[in-house]
Amino acid sequence: MTDQLQTAKDWLGDLSKIVSQQKTKEDYDYAKKRTEALGWLINRVEELENRNKELEYASKYNGELNEFLQKRKLPPSTLGRHVVDVVMEYVEELEEEVNHWKSCTNSEQKIAAKAHKRVERVEKENRRLKQALEFYADESNYEFETIVSDCDIDVESKILNDGGEKARKALKEESQ
């Protein structure tokens, strides 16, 4: 509060005392109107002082916001505009960018899920083929017995008995 405002408040107190001491109705009304006018002026000055404090506070943060935006190297078209408007636009742009990246992430998750299913199918297929190859790679499956009877000689081995059935079965499952 300024000294002048305090002086005006003191005068208002003095005028209020004078109003109560007026002898005639005209003097009383005259002094009362002046007292009310002075009271109104004092209230307006106090409101202006409060608004001034609010503006100083807002101005301080407005300046900080302006510095923040300048560090972000916003386009020159934003210069001279109200900082709050610029910040709101900037926030909206950032929100749009976040939504874009979220949608990209969702797409990538779908692609990853499809790729994971494909990898599982390929791994399962590889296991079947590996089992078939292991059967044919196992040297003990090539060992054979010779059975000699009166008129025939039979040769038996797991490979000969299989006749390639395991391989055909693995390849058939692969194509399904």
Q: What is the pLDDT of residue 26?
A: 83
Q: What is the pLDDT of residue 119?
A: 92
3-state class (DSSP) for residue 148: strand
Same domain membership, residue 119 and residue 52:
no
Q: What is the pLDDT of residue 76?
A: 57
φ/ψ region of 19 (left if φ > 0, alpha if ψ in -120 to 50, else beta) reads: alpha
Cα separations in angstroms, 153 against 32, 141, 150, 157: 142, 19, 8, 13
* Cα–Cα distance, 2 to 10 (Å, whole number): 13
Q: What is the pLDDT of residue 128?
A: 85
Same domain membership, residue 84 and residue 49:
no
Same domain membership, residue 170 and residue 99:
yes
Q: What is the pLDDT of residue 120?
A: 92
Same domain membership, residue 131 and residue 51:
no
3-state class (DSSP) for residue 146: strand
Q: Count the domains in the chain.
A: 2
Same domain membership, residue 88 and residue 167:
yes
Q: What is the pLDDT of residue 147?
A: 67
Residue 171, domain extent = 79-176
Residues in the chain with pLDDT values less than 50: none
Same domain membership, residue 119 and residue 163:
yes
Q: 34 with 1: CB under 8 angstroms?
A: no
Q: Among 73, 95, 126, where does a domain finish?
A: 73
Same domain membership, residue 2 and residue 68:
yes
Place of tokens 């008129």: 151
Same domain membership, residue 48 and residue 120:
no
